[in-house]
Amino acid sequence: MARNHTRIQPWVDIGTLVGLALLLLPLLTMAHELLGHAVVCVATGHQPSELGAYYIECPGTQGWSTRWVAMAGTCVDVVLAALAYMFWRRATRPLPRVVAWIVFAVKGMVAAGYWMFSGATNLGDWGPDAGGGVGPLPWPWLWRAGLFVIGLVAYVGVVRVAIRMLGAMLGGGDHAARVKRQIAMTVYVVGGASALLVGLFNPHGLVITLTSAVAASFGGTAGLFNVAYSRRPDLPAQPFVIERRPALLVLGVLVTAAFAAVLGPTLYLH
């Protein structure tokens, strides 16, 4: 009996989790910058002059073209979070489900966090003022208050859904709670530390590192603390097991290293 009980407890290999984070988070960042900002820059008839790990420069834009370029990264984040959630609902195996959970949680929190950050500070992609990303707009204080409220409501919603998703995968009990903390905090720590390291390669100094890399990682995904230490759901334990996959860890290290080496120092296109 004891043996069968142990078999149904959730368990996740920490090395595999680290590899997943190192693999997915650079790809998700590139989706924001390249599929979002850079693609819309080209679509509006312009050419990016700089492609960095956490920023792009799109010179020559004016008016609504500037606004579309600025908003595009967050729009890609929202789409990816929605697609990840739909995929998670249909997936049945543990590894694809935890991949979908990471994409949903990270992209959902980062998108909502951008709205909160721009509303509170008037900086970043959604700052609605003369110096902001999507400005100038009339009544900037009203826009900022609206952005902050929308971002706060969306952020709380993403955190709650992320908690429910992990609860459905892992079940309840003390053991499941430990695995939940392991998953959420591994993604948070690995994502933040790798973003800080990659951001140090940029040629524009600590400003970009702090306002883009660190803010979007350590700040944007801070809701993972709420996920990690949320109250345990009253659910039976689930047989959710992710085995050790050394190849995934190696692949994650290689992807993060390539991300740092190529986009960390910035690509200058002209």
Structural domain including 47 reads 2-268
Burial class (CB within 10 angstroms; exposed 0-12, middle 13-18, buried 19+) of 114: buried
**130 compared with 137, residue with greater pLDDT:** 137
pTM attached to this predicted model: 0.92
Cα separations (Å) of 208 from 117, 195, 240, 244?
15, 11, 39, 36
Q: What's the N-to-C CA distance of the chain in angstroms?
A: 68
Number of folded domains in the chain? 1
pLDDT tens digit sequence for 16-28: 999 999 999 999 9
pLDDT tens digit sequence for 10-64: 899 999 999 999 999 999 999 999 999 999 999 999 999 999 988 899 998 888 8
